[in-house]
Homo-oligomer: A and B are copies of this chain.
């Protein structure tokens, strides 16, 4: 294994699964060359004249698509922890006796623990994609043959577009579809809202299979995936478990600690002049993030102002703001609850977006840079404001990157995080795994103080006369260490089990095997 020290000072691999990899060169420093990936030209003469692309079942579709050893198979994660399809897909691949596949999901979840048997028996050689929970633990302990690759949502689109990852077969679960392959996630028992995480797959994969449990007469309206990209359509009984695909309801945290983080975050934004008429924001669907949104809402009502747009993940709170006229548009990437789906179906101002529009760094711009303030999480931050979202301080890879790296390009990035978790400090000397460079992270909000990145002299200036508990990041670290003591470093071996890509496809860091002996 060859290593190189990248521009962030991290020792990274220069080869990943037999292909050369470029070390991170600094934010905005790497200029891609060459042309986008170009799939083969198709011809209508090879497709049914009447538009009916239905085949008997997934096995027939995979056979027709030419599934063979070593291929790259992609799936999307809009069904989250309720997904049945990815498990079923690899059951079929296993039954066909295919080996050495690369699974390229937009993310994997605890429900995909089922696939560990196929990582063990060689059906799947490696996973490139977020590995939340059990699969991450399996990888951390050295169980996966190939090296994992973690990319942001935008980085995944970039890797497909640039031909860094060539998808042989995309298998796209579609809550509603017609026989031509036009599909949406809005309707049907498995409704998940959007299908944007499968957009790049549909555009660039050599073969595209739509699997649906709600086949409707042509035309399926609206279409989010265009049938003109689709080779085969199959009916399956159930794509997933509806209650786990979309929660019936999302809830704001009731934890006093987290409510305090949220309140401090909102007060900071207010003091810094960020919450002004026509501003824009993005805040996740976690309990703290939802609470930040609610504090924003109160401030906006008080001031009599509104936001031009909010970026989703959408949820009932954001939908309420849209419907109250506090937000002109939701630019949504995924829906987290039933209200999000309802609004997306009914309201033209609840707009579909995708990793292409919002996050692809190798586009002609993207939406991330237009957002005034984004509220994100992290497992660790360090004295340089670098942050980690994928590993815990014990070195275990347990979370995906999602859109996190992409959102760092927003005008102001705030991480409301507790100063420690289970008596382990969250502010460290150096993060265990580097996911986002500190120069893009502006503010750390903890229950014991707010640290502003010294690069943001404007924010320091604007909040210096506020009554907010502004401290240095060093002060926050000292306080955490005083309370928790300095934790032991993680017990890691030499072997690299996964690479962390930056938004431009370069290698930002690596994850090493945890020593379990």
Residues in B with CB closer than 8 Å to A50 are 369-370, 411
* Residues of chain B lying within 8 A (CB to CB) of residue A517: none
Known: A48-B365, A222-B351, A370-B50. A39 touches B41 (CB 8 A): no
Q: Is the CB of B36 within 8 A of A41?
A: yes
> Of B228, B309, B349, B361, which is within 8 A of A363 by CB?
B228
In the complex, per-residue mask of A33-56: 1 if CB is within 8 Å of any chain B CB, else 0: 111111111111111111101000
In the complex, chain B residues whose CB is within 8 Å of the CB of A40: 34-36
Decide yes or no: A228 and B351 within 8 Å by CB, A43-B32, A180-B370, A308-B218 being known contacts: no
Closest Cβ of chain B to A394, distance in Å, is 35
Total copies of this chain within the assembly: 2
Q: How large is the interface on A (under 10, 10 to 19, 20 to 34, 35 or more residues)?
A: 35 or more
A31 contacts partner chain B, Cβ-Cβ < 8 Å: yes
Bound complex: CA of A125 vs CA of B349, how far in Å? 45
Proximity string of chain A (1-32) to chain B, C-beta cutoff 8 Å, 1 when within and 0 when not? 00000000000000000000000000011111
Say which residue of B47, B161, B219, B369 sits within 8 Å of A365 (CB atoms).
B47
**Does B230 contact A364, Cβ atoms closer than 8 Å?**
yes
**In the bound complex, CA of A218 to CA of B226 (Å):** 26
Which residue on chain B has the smallest CB distance to residue A364? B42
Interface string of A346-378 (1 = CB under 8 A from B): 001101000011001111111101100000000
- CB pair B369–A221 under 8 Å, yes or no, is no
Please measure, in the bound complex, the distance between the C-alpha atom of A44 and the C-alpha atom of B368, giving whole angstroms.
10
Give the complex CA separation of A229 and B356 in angstroms: 10
Which B residues are in CB contact (< 8 Å) with A47? Answer: 364-365
Determine which of B46, B226, B278 lies in contact with A217 in the assembled complex, contact meaning CB atoms within 8 Å. Answer: B278
- Any B CB within 8 A of the CB of A382: no
Contacting B at CB under 8 A, from A135-161, are 161
Contact residues in B for A229 (Cβ distance below 8 Å): 363-364
Q: What's the nearest-Cβ distance from chain B to residue A53, in Å? A: 7
Instruction: Determine how close the nearest CB of chain B comes to the CB of A217; give it in whole angstroms.
Output: 6
Residues of B within 8 A of A41 (CB): 32-36, 161-162, 362
What are the residues of chain B within 8 A of A28 when measuring CB–CB?
A: 43-45
In the complex the two chains form, is A180's CB within 8 Å of B365's CB? yes
Interface string of A211-252 (1 = CB under 8 A from B): 000000111011000111111000000000000000000000
Chain B residues with Cβ below 8 Å from A43 are 28, 30-32, 361-362, 504
Nearest neighbor of A280 in chain B, beta-carbon distance: B218
- Minimum CB–CB distance from A352 to chain B (whole Å) comes to 9
Q: How far is the CA of A49 from the CA of B361 in the complex (A)?
A: 11
* CA distance in complex: A36, B41 (Å): 5
Alpha-carbon distance A28/B48, docked complex (angstroms): 12
Do A348 and B221 touch (CB < 8 A)?
Answer: yes
CB-defined contacts of A351 to chain B, threshold 8 Å: 219, 221-222
Interface string of A398-418 (1 = CB under 8 A from B): 000000000001010000000
Residues of chain B within 8 A (CB-CB) of A367 are: 51, 180, 219
Q: Is the CB of A221 within 8 A of B329?
A: yes
User: Which chain A residues (168-184) contact chain B, with CB distance < 8 Å?
Assistant: 180-181
Docked CA distance A31–B47 (Å):
12
The answer to the question of A331 belonging to the interface, with a C-beta cut-off of 8 Å to chain B, is yes
Across the A-B interface, the 3 shortest Cβ-Cβ residue pairs:
A35-B38, A28-B45, A38-B38
**A43-B361, A180-B365, A180-B370 known, 18 other contacts, Cβ within 8 Å:** A31-B46, A32-B41, A32-B42, A33-B41, A44-B364, A44-B366, A45-B361, A47-B364, A49-B409, A53-B365, A217-B308, A219-B309, A219-B329, A219-B331, A221-B348, A226-B356, A228-B357, A228-B363
